[in-house]
Amino acid sequence: MGKNKIISFIDKLEEILLVSMFALMVLIIFIQVIMRYVFNNSLSWSEELGKFLFVWLSWIGISIGERRNEHIKITMLVDKLPPFAKKICDILAELIVIVICAVTTYYGITLVISQAAVHYAGIKISMAWGYLAVVIGCSLMILRSIISIINIATLAARKE
């Protein structure tokens, strides 16, 4: 399997996971609202599962934002630079993101390990699953940042 096929597979997997999690989260919250206001009886696990899914959506979503180049950036100064200097700033920004995500991944792994025995009260699963979203999301963000650096460097090399 080539490099592009692996990345394409990850792209599709991310999108399928996000759409599925979002649909499940909306469905669970909708059922909770119906149960609470129509049947006057709430589900003990629905709010916690909705929050759990939202955390996963957020951390997986950062990777898609990076892939689509949709993260907020303040480019007022960088836009005034010549093209080569702009590319250097873009690469530097991606390297900073990689360092931040690597540190976050490291501490996320320690949280996953330390919280493995602790369980959510409502959904009865290990809290490690919640913290695993941080590790996976940041790892995917590192991958996307590396791809972005490669793309910036290859585009700069082609223009020279």
* Beta partners for residue 149, in sequence order: none
Give the pLDDT confidence score for residue 158 in this predicted structure: 65
Q: Taking each helix axis from N to C terminus, what angle separates 3-37 and 128-159, rounded to the nearest 10 degrees?
A: 140
d(CA 152, CA 87): 7
| CA-to-CA separations, 30 to 19, 26, 124, in angstroms, rounded | 16, 6, 21
Domain of residue 91 covers 3-159
pTM of the model: 0.86
Query: pLDDT averaged over consecutive 10-residue blocks of the chain (160 residues)?
Result: 82 94 95 91 89 95 89 85 91 96 97 94 91 96 94 74
pLDDT digits (tens, 9 = 90+) for 113-122: 999 999 988 8
Contacts of 85 (CB under 8 A, 6+ apart): none
The number of folded domains in the chain is 1
Structure tokens of 6?
């692996």
pLDDT of residue 160: 56
pLDDT at 4: 84
Q: For 11, how many CA atoms within 13 A lie in the half-sphere containing its CB?
A: 11
pLDDT the model gives residue 121 = 87
Single out the residue of 141, 117, 128 nearest to residue 52, CA to CA: 128
Tens-place pLDDT, residues 114-150: 999 999 888 889 999 999 999 999 999 999 999 999 9
